[in-house]
Structure 1
Amino acid sequence: MQQWEKLSADHQKQYKQFLQKADKKKVLKQLPDLHEKVFAEVDCLTCANCCKNYSPRFKTPDIKRISKVLRLKESVFIDTYLELDTDGDYVTKTKPCPFLGSDNYCSIYEDRPSDCKRFPYTDEDVLLKRPAITLKNSTFCPAVHLALEFLLKS
């Protein structure tokens, strides 16, 4: 376990309390600068935990776009790579993501699902509006952990 993962595990209660009581307007104003600060320290290509352990939702526009890029019929793309989860969303059948290379680069990066483009939501109100997701993300994403650490200290 890396040091940040232990710290994140130790701080889950603090994160939860912060997210429940945070001055949402104040925090939302901080997010653009916070996002820049976090990603000045975190390089996703050294980690890729999100791609290795979780799947984004593949929404209809994502499926249409990626199928076209891969020159596959949508039904073939779905049958080859996706399955329905318990919420009825399409997710990857396998982990790590089938589009993740051994170098942690994504083979469909320019056309990746919208969930991937937005992750880890450190520049969005999702950070506050969906605390359960933020807490879960902080356990495997060093960027979310670091964002919450910065917010706790601000």
Structure 2
Amino acid sequence: MQIPINDNWKKKAAANQKQYGRFLKQADKNKVLKQLPDLHEEAFSHIDCLQCAACCKNYSPRFKTPDIKRISKHLRMKESVFIETYLRLDEEGDYVVKSTPCPFLGDDNFCSIYDERPSDCERFPYTDEDVLLKRPQLTLKNASFCPAVYHVMENLIQQAENKTGK
């Protein structure tokens, strides 16, 4: 049974944070990794990121050196000017956007640098890769604002419960 996405998902995601944390800590990593591609595809068959864009409106990806080089070249800016104009260093020493929403997000929720976007944006929300398990704090944060992460976590837990008869 697939867990549907509804208007109530944010409340459920908030209420289930501890359950998600326990699951991520105790999960059989190999089994979960095998399930992720199908759950990722299934989630995105229901979710249109252009209707949401919560990630771009509220958070920033890391801009790694290759991202900065590629995007500044695309924008025909010197790397130093790109950094000065758009980025700041966060507490962890990573470059992130100075302000939210992302300066590259349009009113229509389209990204003006989509083809050149940072690798973090391209990979987000990590629901089809091991980051979901390796960085549980990030997964928990993402589940609080991304319906795809909520969908994947709910289905992983449901499938685990079905197998253990809970």
Normalised-by-shorter TM-score class: over 0.9
Matched with 2:83 is 78
What is the SS of the residue equivalent to 1:91?
Answer: strand
What is the SS of the residue equivalent to 2:107?
Answer: coil
TM-score (norm 2): 0.91
Determine what percentage of the aligned residue pairs are the same residue: 71
Matched with 2:28 is 23
Residue identity in the other structure for 1:152: I
Return the alpha-carbon distance in structure 2 between the equivalents of residues 60 and 20 of structure 1: 32
Per the TM alignment, residue 3 of structure 1 is displaced from its structure 2 partner at its CA by: 1.1
The yes-or-no answer on 1:145 pairing with 2:150 is yes
Residue identity in the other structure for 1:36: E
Q: Deviations for 1:12-65, whole angstroms, at most 9, x for unmatched residues?
A: 111111111111110101111111011011111110000000000101100000
Return the alpha-carbon distance in structure 1 between the equivalents of residues 75 and 135 of structure 2: 33
Per the TM alignment, residue 124 of structure 1 is displaced from its structure 2 partner at its CA by: 0.4
Matched with 1:90 is 95
Matched with 1:5 is 10
Q: Which runs of 4+ in 1 moved over 3 A?
A: none
Aligned length: 153
Matched with 1:41 is 46
- Structure 1: state its 5+ residue gaps: none
- Structure 2: state its 5+ residue gaps: 1-6, 160-166
What is the SS of the residue equivalent to 2:96?
Answer: strand
Residue identity in the other structure for 1:73: K
Return the alpha-carbon distance in structure 1 between the equivalents of residues 107 and 8 of structure 2: 24
Q: Deviations for 1:74-119, whole angstroms, at most 9, x for unmatched residues?
A: 1110110001111111100010000000010000000000000010
